[in-house]
Structures are given as structure tokens and as C-alpha cells.
Amino acid sequence: MSKTVTKVKPLPDYLLFIEFSDNSKGTFDMKPYLDFGSYRALKNYDYFKRVSVEYGDIVWPDEQDIAPERILAELVHIVEPAE
């Protein structure tokens, strides 16, 4: 079973706190994406803060999204669930 996103919280400096279905969690830096395509709209921090989880993916109202696989590849400050 692959991990899905269960929680996302916007943080300062275009970071996202993300929690997964197995309770692992970490931060994801959106800054490298902000100069490309539809992600440019996320430079508006008020819009960036409108992030949510939909069907296990991170999404914004105008259909920008980031798949869990991308997030997992670049996640930092990973906290694994307690055994």
C-alpha cells in the first residue's frame, strides 16, 4: 500500500507540513516550484495558504497539485511513526 497525504499545513517561507497515512511526517519546500507553470499563482502567500488534501494529494483551488510520490522524494525533517 502506498502512502497518501492525510494532513497538510502551510508554514512560513512556502513550506508545507505534511502528514501521511502511516503517521510519518515532515516538511516540503515549495519554493523551487514557484517559477513554473501554474505554480506561479502560489507566490501569492494568501493563495498558497489555501492548500488542502483531496484524495490523498495536496491541492489548491485552481487545480495545482503535488502528488505524494513527489513529496516523499523531497521531504525534509522526516519524523517516522513510533513503532
**DSSP string of 5-40?**
EEEEEEEGGGEEEEEETTS-EEEEE-GGGTTSGGGG
CA distance 48 to 30: 10
pLDDT tens digits for range 33-72? 999 999 999 999 999 999 999 999 999 999 999 888 888 8
| Topology given in CATH for the domain delimited by 5-79 | NE0471 N-terminal domain-like (3.30.2020)
Is the pLDDT score of 75 beyond 60? Answer: yes
For position 65, what pLDDT does the model report? 94
Could you tell me the residue ranges of all domains in the chain?
5-79
pTM of the model: 0.87
